[in-house]
Amino acid sequence: MAAAPDRLKDTGRATPRRTVFGEAAEAYEDGRPGYAEELVAQVLEYAALGDRTALEVGAGTGKATGLFAARGVPVVCVEPDARMAEVLRRTTDAYPHVQVEVGDFEAWSPSRHRFGLLYAATSWHWVDPARRWDLAHSALGPGGTLALFWNPVAAIDPELFAALRDIDRRHGVEEPPHDALASRYGEEAGTVDGQVGPGWPVDEIRRDGRFTDLRTVRYRRNLRYDTARYLAFLASVSAYRVLPQHDLAQLLVETAELLDSRGGTIDMLGINDLVLARTV
């Protein structure tokens, strides 16, 4: 499938791009699309948590956290960036059953606690691929649920899509979040043009052998961003954050001019792709 924002091929240990989000934490909170309520409902129905606690890996500013916490789920959030965690604490301040811990998941220890649910919202690709399945399995109790999900977006208008790609190419952006037309997304989770994209974890989960009852679901919804929110969205994506500051500023100016010339909005297809499995 086309890359979700910041979703990269697994080429070994996480790249430095995982560290650029904190400097854009407010833009991340303002611009990033969230997740469908139906997805959260599906995860919780599958997990049947009862009074067990959930563990969130790479919680960011709480785009998914609040949805689970609002349903009464106790959540321990592990977030590697202190600046993102500061926003996360603010966005979840109304939920005393949310606990925020700052640190890399690879270095974090659940001690003797085992969780009923481990979920990662557009963050699992940043966890060390050599260790992540061991870490997930050790954090979950028997029959515990693993829920991994991403939220790619796709431009609906082919002419606008082409114009955005021209701007990206001029400034050397690779893997922009609008890297595929909406018409290329079918019904099968993890795919574009019917082909499984890089980083989709299903085969890894099957090879691991410690997870069972594997399920995948794709949710689709239409999104409309105004110019300001779309610029905040782009400013929070690592492919843009790694540009030299002058180049990023110029790209955002050109993007704003383009969107404003077309009514000041962009219509996109929002995708939520979900993988569910449980420990053997």
- pLDDT tens-digit profile of 203-237? 999 999 999 999 999 999 999 999 999 998 898 88
User: Do the beta carbons of residue 27 and residue 232 sit within 8 Å?
Assistant: yes
**Intra-chain end-to-end CA distance of the chain, in Å:** 28
pLDDT in tens, 9-58: 333 334 445 555 555 666 666 768 889 999 999 999 999 999 999 999 99
- Give CA–CA dist 22/176, Å, rounded: 19
Q: Are strands 153-155 and 115-121 parallel, antiparallel or unpaired?
A: unpaired
Give 202: exposed, middle or buried? Use CB within 10 Å, 0-12, 13-18, 19+: middle
Fold adopted by 16-279: Rossmann fold (3.40.50)
Q: Residue 103: its pLDDT value, please? A: 95
